Chain A
Amino acid sequence: MTSLSRSPGKHAPRAAASRALPLAALVVLALPGLLGDEFLLRFAAEVLLIGTAVMSLNLLIGSGGLVSLGHAAVFGVSAYTAAIVASQVDGNAVAIVLAGTMAGVAMAGLMALVSLRSSGLHFLVMTLVIGQMAWELAFRWRELTGGADGLRGFPKLALGDWYLDDALGLYALAALTALACWSLLRQTAAAPLGQALSGMRDQPLRMTALGYDLKRLRILAFILTGITTGAAGALYPFVNQYVGPNVVHWSMSAAFVIMAVLGSIRSLVGGYIGAALYLTIQTYLSSYTDRWQLIIGILFVTTVVFMPHGIVQKIRGGKTP
């Protein structure tokens, strides 16, 4: 499986495994499509879309400890753009995804520029502030975003005459997007850009000495994140035909961080695992007990204390680098 910091010289035995991976992923993704009922399919679609956003957050965190509390703003801005554009293009799926992705990239780019000189805690607070500014806009600009009530009643996704509003269609679209984004990030991790990003995390001083422009690298990381998060965000409103300001709020960003840690910050697939775990507990456990947030909190703390690199790393049994 992929990790963001792969040491050279271990290519050969891994190559076979990494070729089998997309196939395995396809099988895993096909399962809910065959077995699930309507709710499960939509739920799985949501998990995949949010998982993609969390995976993108992993990229940022993995590029130098850039824990963003404004990631939901990127996701949410793409979602709102998609919903708003939907009415303009009569539900044309391609146009919508494109528009949402571009919005995501724009938002991510903005965050990158503003936080260029920040790191660590400063970066955390900076992204929080920017994210909340986006939330204020979403909450207040009633004419555009529907304000506190959010947007509903926008057209359903369509490719030509073929409507994608049923659960299976949505799930297929979400799965495709997740697979595409995952492949993109996976390829990037193996490429020089990805190696440079891990270098930025591990040895910033040395990287500068080698002539890398860390600022430019950071912007690139953000843009990459913007693409994947934007694509996922663009599809999000169509799962429930609704988008509200809550998807931009910092509490959503905090939830992303929890999901990232639960899954594993060092693995791309960890984003999906974490999202699945968190959302499952949130949806199913809350029916049985009022104390479900306590359970998530305890799970989170346990993960941080005993499995600081997340569940996926624990399963791999590897020592943490």
Chain B
Amino acid sequence: MLAGGAASLALGMPMPARARDTPIKIALITSLSGPFASLGESMRAGLSLYMEEIGHQMGGRPVKLLVEDDQGKPDEAVRKVRKLLSQDKADVLCGVISAAAALAIRDIVADAQALTFISNASANALAREAASPYIFRPTKTSWMLGHTSALWAYEHLAKQGGMTLASDYAAGREYIGDFKTTYTERGGQLDRQVWTPLGTSDFAPIIMNIAAANPAFVYAFLPGSDAVRFLQQMRDYQLHGKVRIMGPGALLDQEDVLPAAGDAGLGGLNTFHQSPDAPSSAAFAQAYKKSRNRLPGEASTSGYATGQVIKAGLDAVNGDVSRKADIKTRLLDGAVETAFGPMQFDPRNNQAVLDIYVNEVRANDDGVPLNTVIHTYKGIRDPGPSA
């Protein structure tokens, strides 16, 4: 059988019948515990929803979803990836919430030539020096968000007098750095740059400084619970509505931040590749709301979109996972319809080229704060390896 299988692969012939029934193993590496647990569960929910919709079939073969928890730790992600490749014999890897984990596993999957789809981590490096022929990224880079925020801020907020605030770690540095570069390139002038440690519980001292400085706007990046606390404390200190808040979408994520922050998030601006309001994700948003009783944020939409991309690739090769080059060709050739919109991949670095929405958080008809699209920057492409 092996010889027959090998022969048919070499000739590009369809797979033998027995092989067609063995399930394709798709492994999702996500954070089900640790600091990103809520994002990780959302991602799993999004992908699982997609799997159900397509009846667990891709390219005519059944699909088995393996889910592994990286606990938000890069070391654990590496261990799990090795296990998935070596023992579980996963055919396709996908997922990864944190940038640190994505970078940590990059060398291993590149060496193993394992087809990998990074669903959430936005580290710029993966689209530049750390890009690899077998790693696809069906989501944004930090640059795409920082850059578009700067464009919008310069045109519509103020050309000077703004300040930045971010959690002091890799993601924060990237977002702020990219924002600053584009903003100052256009001629804008930023005032202060404030950095705060990850996991700050009391923003009061910083908020006092903001109140005293009275900036034209604050471009902020804070993850998860930090974002919730910041927004609420801004409201506590009567600055809500007085100071314009803008950030990358994670600051005002529909699923991760807004439900807890509530009204404190109203009026916030963000640039994101995801919006529950966008026409391309309308169907998914409805289905997700039905299944989990909440509007989707980035993580769940990423999970869903990753599923769509993988299916497009596998359908093109009739489920023959070994034909990686053909899968690549399919993905690089034409756009894939996903919940993020039509997704084209850049052949230089397998990075998705995406529409970036400018969202404003407004109360919808039911009074629920909703990320509402007020503008779309079409076809934003990361500068890539030359940057």
Give, as a whole number of angstroms, the nearest-CB distance from A135 to chain B.
Answer: 11
Q: Mark B187-202, 1 if CB is under 8 A from A, else 0.
A: 0000000000110000
- Whether the Cβ atoms of A152 and B107 lie closer than 8 Å is yes
Q: Does B75 contact A (CB under 8 A)?
A: yes
Give, as a whole number of angstroms, the nearest-CB distance from B367 to chain A.
Answer: 34
Give, as a whole number of angstroms, the nearest-CB distance from B74 to chain A.
Answer: 5
A288 to B108, CA, bound (A): 24
- Whether the Cβ atoms of A283 and B75 lie closer than 8 Å is no
- Whether the Cβ atoms of A242 and B68 lie closer than 8 Å is no
- Whether the Cβ atoms of A242 and B168 lie closer than 8 Å is no
Q: Mark A255-299, 1 if CB is under 8 A from B, else 0.
A: 000000000000000000000000000110011001011000000
- Whether the Cβ atoms of A152 and B66 lie closer than 8 Å is no
Do A240 and B66 contact each other (CB < 8 Å), given the known contacts A38-B86, A42-B82?
Answer: no
Interface-located stretch among A1-9, A143-151, A187-195, A209-217: A143-151
Q: Mark B78-101, 1 if CB is under 8 A from A, else 0.
A: 111011011100000000000110
Chain A interface helix/strand/loop/mixed: helix
- Whether the Cβ atoms of B107 and A241 lie closer than 8 Å is yes
20 more A-B residue pairs beyond the given contacts A147-B169, A240-B82, with a C-beta to C-beta distance below 8 A: A39-B82, A39-B87, A46-B79, A142-B170, A149-B99, A149-B103, A150-B74, A152-B103, A152-B104, A240-B108, A241-B108, A244-B74, A244-B104, A246-B73, A246-B75, A283-B79, A286-B32, A286-B71, A287-B66, A293-B33
A39 to B206, CA, bound (A): 47
A39: contacting residue among B69, B73, B86, CB under 8 A: B86
Chain B contacts of A38 at CB under 8 A?
A: 82, 86
- Whether the Cβ atoms of A150 and B100 lie closer than 8 Å is yes
Q: Mark B122-135, 1 if CB is under 8 A from A, else 0.
A: 01000000000000
5 contacts between A and B (CB under 8 A): A149-B99, A149-B100, A149-B103, A290-B33, A290-B69
What's the tally of chain B residues with a CB closer than 8 Å to chain A? Answer: 34
Q: Mark B51-76, 1 if CB is under 8 A from A, else 0.
A: 00000000000000011110101111
Chain A contacts of B197 at CB under 8 A?
A: 136
Give, as a whole number of angstroms, the nearest-CB distance from B345 to chain A.
Answer: 24
Chain A contacts of B173 at CB under 8 A?
A: 142, 147
What's the tally of chain A residues with a CB closer than 8 Å to chain B? Answer: 30
- Whether the Cβ atoms of A147 and B78 lie closer than 8 Å is no
- Whether the Cβ atoms of B68 and A240 lie closer than 8 Å is no
A283 to B32, CA, bound (A): 13
A241 to B173, CA, bound (A): 24
- Whether the Cβ atoms of B79 and A240 lie closer than 8 Å is yes
Give, as a whole number of angstroms, the nearest-CB distance from A298 to chain B.
Answer: 16
Chain B contacts of A150 at CB under 8 A?
A: 74, 100, 103-104
Give, as a whole number of angstroms, the nearest-CB distance from B143 to chain A.
Answer: 16
- Whether the Cβ atoms of A244 and B100 lie closer than 8 Å is yes
* Highest count of chain A CB atoms <10 Å: which of B33, B79, B168, B171: B79
A-B contact count (CB 8 A): 82
> Which residue of chain B lies nearest to A43 when distances are taken between CB atoms in the complex?
B79
Give, as a whole number of angstroms, the nearest-CB distance from B112 to chain A.
Answer: 10
A287: contacting residue among B68, B78, B100, CB under 8 A: B68
A247 to B79, CA, bound (A): 14
A158 to B112, CA, bound (A): 21
Do A242 and B83 contact each other (CB < 8 Å), given the known contacts A149-B103, A152-B103?
Answer: no
- Whether the Cβ atoms of B100 and A286 lie closer than 8 Å is no
Q: Mark A44-68, 1 if CB is under 8 A from B, else 0.
A: 0010000000000000000000000
Do A148 and B169 contact each other (CB < 8 Å), given the known contacts A242-B104, A244-B100?
Answer: yes
Q: Does A140 contact B (CB under 8 A)?
A: yes
Give, as a whole number of angstroms, the nearest-CB distance from A288 to chain B.
Answer: 10
A148: contacting residue among B67, B82, B100, CB under 8 A: B100
Q: Does A13 contact B (CB under 8 A)?
A: no
> Which residue of chain B lies nearest to A245 when distances are taken between CB atoms in the complex?
B100
Chain A contacts of B75 at CB under 8 A?
A: 240, 242, 244, 246-247
Chain B contacts of A148 at CB under 8 A?
A: 99-100, 169-171
Chain A contacts of B79 at CB under 8 A?
A: 43, 46, 240, 283
A242 to B100, CA, bound (A): 10
A286 to B28, CA, bound (A): 13
A153 to B33, CA, bound (A): 28
Give, as a whole number of angstroms, the nearest-CB distance from A134 to chain B.
Answer: 15
Q: Does A139 contact B (CB under 8 A)?
A: yes
A140 to B197, CA, bound (A): 9
> Which residue of chain A lies nearest to B171 when distances are taken between CB atoms in the complex?
A148
> Which residue of chain B lies nearest to A292 when distances are taken between CB atoms in the complex?
B69
A147: contacting residue among B69, B107, B170, CB under 8 A: B170
Chain A contacts of B83 at CB under 8 A?
A: 39, 43, 283
